[in-house]
Amino acid sequence: MTSLTLRLLNARGSVSPVVAFMVGLGSVLGVFMLLQLFNDPEIFIQTLAKSLGLGSVYAIIALGFVLIFKATQTVNFAQGGLAVAGALFLSFLVADDHIPFTTISNPFNDIPGPSWIGWGASVIVAMCFAALLGLVIERLTIRPMIGQPLFSVAVITLGLEIVIRVFNNDAVKIEFRSLEVPWGVDGFRIGDAFINWSTMAAMITAAIAFVAVYFFYRSRTGIAMRAVAFDQEAAMAQGIDVGRVFAIAWAAGAVLAMIGGVFATQPPVRQTLSVEPETATIAFRALPAVILGGLDSATGALLGGLIIGLAEIFAGQYAAGEVGWLGAGYPLIVPYIVMIIGLIIRPYGLFGTPEIRRV
């Protein structure tokens, strides 16, 4: 019996709260979706695509939270700042036509062929920058805190978020920074339903990220990370370099934050295609997905992101006639309501690892 199966069944073999929650939620959503599909197929398909796209963006951000938490047992509150910093670096590359902080022209802009090839190469460079930023932050502020209270580490990440966000806001609060996204707000149609290319790109990117993490967890380094997550002191006693594990987790988390920050400027999240102060909020919008799925579960990050994305977009579409008493911003509240319900049923998240403490 697999570990996932063991999580889904309790000691007596009866249905666990996770299964009950998933089956109950799935049944309600399934019936509702079928009704809407037959009522107006075009609107339903368009709404479903948006929700899956938004859920994919949340899942990418959530996976960054999970990787860092799994290695350090700390929630990284600086994820929003890292998202904007990485996206801002990409903006400097593609919009200013030169390498940031230098006068050297960006060589990728001169690559022959379609424009998206050079843009994709610039994205890879921006990912490297994000990884480097994550490594520097980990080495200077997180590594010295190994063995110290986790609360102190969490407060440090909160301070980092404020510091990074101030620098980011100074760069974009007057004039938003364009990312020169090749597909813009274009898309394709399925019947009368319009689907943005950015939505498809987010879903494909999320799938690639989770496949990569799946194989990473089964590598030697991934096993070491799981050992550190289980018990840092025991891992150190077995000769595992905890500092190296921390560094890898922060580098990967920063890269995922940067990718999420890029998608946070595009439909279905935003329409500006530019980095702006509000871009940083994507991390906190994704937090319900992290909590609902479980802070230490990659599977939970994926499912949590999709569930939250579905809830937010479908509520925004099909409850729009009730704005009078719900309020204009009610779709942003729905994820937190779903999160609260999930936590009441499963306090450690749907796929989080329960922690038993003796009092």
pLDDT of residue 52: 94
| 91, burial (CB in 10 Å: exposed 0-12, middle 13-18, buried 19+) | buried
Q: Are 206 and 292 in contact (CB under 8 A)?
A: no
Nearest alpha carbon to residue 46 among 59, 35, 36 = 36
pLDDT of residue 17: 67
Retrieve residue 213's tokens: 């993490």
pLDDT of residue 355: 64
pLDDT of residue 68: 92
Nearest alpha carbon to residue 350 among 290, 309, 284, 287 = 290
Q: What is the largest CA-CA distance in the chain?
A: 67
CA distance 124 to 184: 19
Give the single-character DSSP code of 188. Answer: E
Burial profile 252-291: b = 16 or more Cβ within 10 angstroms, e = fewer = bbbbbbbbbbbbbbbbbbbebbbbbeebbebbebbbbbbb
Which residues pair with residue 194 across a beta bridge? Answer: 189
pLDDT of residue 239: 80
With a cut of 50, list the residues of the chain below it in pLDDT: 1-2, 4-6, 8-13, 356-359
CB neighbourhood size of 182 (10 A): 16
- pLDDT tens digit string along 52-87? 999 999 999 999 999 999 888 888 999 999 999 999
CB neighbourhood size of 114 (10 A): 10
pLDDT of residue 316: 84
SS3 category, 204: helix
Residue type present at position 278? E
Nearest alpha carbon to residue 245 among 225, 274, 231 = 225
| 72, burial (CB in 10 Å: exposed 0-12, middle 13-18, buried 19+) | buried
pLDDT of residue 14: 52
CA distance 7 to 141: 35
Any idea what the Cα angle at residue 302 is, between residues 1 and 19, rounded to 5°? 45
Any idea what the Cα angle at residue 187 is, between residues 183 and 288, rounded to 5°? 85
Name the one residue in this structure whose structure tokens are 């994000």.
130
Q: What H or E segment, with its residue span, contains residue 187?
A: strand 187-190
Nearest alpha carbon to residue 282 among 335, 359, 213 = 335
